[in-house]
Amino acid sequence: MTKYPCTNIHLDKIRENASQMREKCAASGVKLAGVAKGAAGDLKVARAFLEGGIEQLADSRIQNLKKFKEAGLEAEMLLLRLPHPGEAEDVIKYADISLNTELKTLKALSKAAITKNKKHKVIIMVDVGDLREGVMQDDLPDFLVEALELDGIEVLGIGTNVGCYGGVLPTSTNTKVLVDLRDRLETTLNCKLPVISGGNTATSILLERDELPRGINHFRIGEGIIQGTDVTHQRDLMGFNRQNITLTAPIIELKNKPSVPTGEIGHDAFGQKPEFEDKGTRLRAILEVGRQDVRPDGVKPTIEGIEVIGASSDHLLLDVTDSEKELEVGDLITFELGYGAMLSAMTTNYLYRNYIDSESE
Mark residue 190 as left, alpha or beta (left: phi above 0; alpha: psi -120 to 50; beta: remaining): left
What is the distance between the alpha carbons of residues 175 and 285, in angstroms, rounded to a whole number? 47
What is the distance between the alpha carbons of residues 246 and 161, in angstroms, rounded to a whole number? 27
Omega before 5 within 30 of 0, i.e. cis? yes
**How many CA atoms lie within 13 Å of 214's alpha carbon, on the beta-carbon side?**
0
What is the distance between the alpha carbons of residues 131 and 129, in angstroms, rounded to a whole number? 5
C-alpha torsion sign, points 225, 162, 237, 194: negative
What is the distance between the alpha carbons of residues 164 and 177, in angstroms, rounded to a whole number? 18
* CB-CB contact of 59 with 98 (8 Å): no
* CB-CB contact of 65 with 95 (8 Å): yes
89 Cβ partners below 8 Å, 6+ apart? 112, 115, 116
Residues serving a catalytic function are 37
- Helices 140-147 and 172-189 pack at an angle, to 10 degrees, of 50
CA dihedral 4, 10, 11, 12 (to 10 degrees): 150
What is the distance between the alpha carbons of residues 196 and 115, in angstroms, rounded to a whole number? 29
* CB-CB contact of 16 with 241 (8 Å): yes
For 131-157, the DSSP string reads -SS-B-GGGHHHHHHHHTT-TTEEEEE
- Helices 11-27 and 43-51 pack at an angle, to 10 degrees, of 40
